[in-house]
Amino acid sequence: MTEPTLPGSRNPYSAIVDRAPLPPLPGGARMAFWSIVNLEVWDISRPMARQVIPAPTGQVLLPDVPNWSWHEYGMRVGVWRFFKLYERLGIRPTLSINARVCDDYERVAAHARDLGWEPMGHAWEQMPIHKVDDQRAMIFRSMDRLESFWGKRPIGWLGPGLTQTYDTPENLAEAGVKYIGDFVYDDDPTVITTAKGPLVTLPYTVELNDIPMMIVQHHESAYWKTRVMDQFKRLYEESAERPKIISIAIHPYISGQPHRIRYLEEIYAEVAEYAGVVHMNGAELYDWYNAAAKVHP
């Protein structure tokens, strides 16, 4: 086996205080707000991606109907709360989407497409990329399916659970991906090298993400709003000196629950009070950055 390409070698360490300025954001904004909705397919024949309720005595159950249903609720009900909110706000989020959603939940995918949401590749279905037999083929298949469904090839990618193997960036670059969200290591967009050409990293988030917060860390629903607004206020303050991007990542089976949706709605209402904040999707952030950094022609 050849030596793996380590993540740190793709963009050597740099301290944010030592960087050149970023280009100004569109319209003179000081801060960009990037909303990412994640849509997944949980195949009932395999262990569920997440669990809200482990089986009594902790046995692994197959099929795991209770947790499958819990996720399914998001597609049947929760996501429609998202659609309503974002239509009202006039915001078109990035949609991190398992390509199989286009077939298994065509109604949902078509609605997002027709609203102009940007598709971001998110594998074929929800399982760690390490366990996919032919990763390269899966990435191409996913990108091709989204291209045929949306009529345009996506330029972004997020690994399922942000997972990568050492050569995933090469496979992504080859498949036509321009930016990824898996490298949550900076506030700025950065450029990473791959043997198949460079990729831009955009600051996706595992901090303002309802999986770590609600499913792993078990926070109260209201804490979602508190943490997002703490993050927003801090970055807003810093954006006086350098453009900042805040990203939030949500899943319909978590944030689309009746008891949680109000905190998401309240966040957007509160953010609207701040001047100089522009809502951008991943493709728009990429275009803004690439226009100055000229990573891709």
Partner 1 sequence: MNQVPPGGMLPGERIAFDPIAGRRRLELPDGKRVAVWIIVNIEEWNPLETMPRTVLTPPAGGAPMPDIPNWAWHEYGNRVGFWRILDVFDDYRLPGNLAVNGCAIAAYPQIAEAAHSRGWEFIGHGFSQKNMQKVADEVEDIRLTTEAIQRFTGTRPRGWLGPGLTETWETPERLVAAGYDYVADWVLDDQPVVLKTRNGPLANVPYTQECNDVAMMLIQHHKASEYRDRAIDQFEQIRSDARHGARVMAMVLHPYIMGAPHRLRYFREAVAHIAGCPDAVFMTGSAILDWAKAQQG
Interface of this chain with partner 1, residues 73 to 102, rule: CB under 8 A: none
C-alpha to C-alpha distances, 180 to 58, 64, 128, 236, 286, nearest whole angstrom: 35, 31, 16, 24, 10
Minimal CA–CA distance to 280: which of 182, 156, 162? Answer: 156
Binding flag, residue 63, partner 1 (CB under 8 A): no
Interface of this chain with partner 1, residues 237 to 256, rule: CB under 8 A: 238
The only residue of 14, 103, 291, 292 in contact with partner 1, by rule CB under 8 A:
14
Interface of this chain with partner 1, residues 16 to 45, rule: CB under 8 A: 16-18
Binding flag, residue 54, partner 1 (CB under 8 A): no
Binding flag, residue 50, partner 1 (CB under 8 A): yes
Q: Is 198 exposed, middle or buried (0-12, 13-18, 19+ CB in 10 A)?
A: middle
Binding flag, residue 231, partner 1 (CB under 8 A): yes
In the block, residue with structure tokens 């993400």: 209
The only residue of 160, 243, 252, 256 in contact with partner 1, by rule CB under 8 A:
160
Contact code string over 178-207 relative to partner 1, x by CB under 8 A: ----xxxxxx------------------xx
Binding flag, residue 228, partner 1 (CB under 8 A): yes
221-229 LR contacts (CB < 8 Å, sep 24+)? 221/257, 221/259, 221/260, 221/263, 222/263, 224/255, 224/260, 224/263, 224/264, 224/267, 225/263, 225/264, 225/266, 225/267, 228/267, 229/267, 229/270
The only residue of 73, 89, 115, 128 in contact with partner 1, by rule CB under 8 A:
128
Contact residues for partner 1, defined by CB under 8 A: 4, 6-8, 13-18, 46-50, 126-128, 130-131, 159-166, 168, 182-187, 206-209, 211-212, 216-219, 223, 226-228, 230-231, 234-235, 238
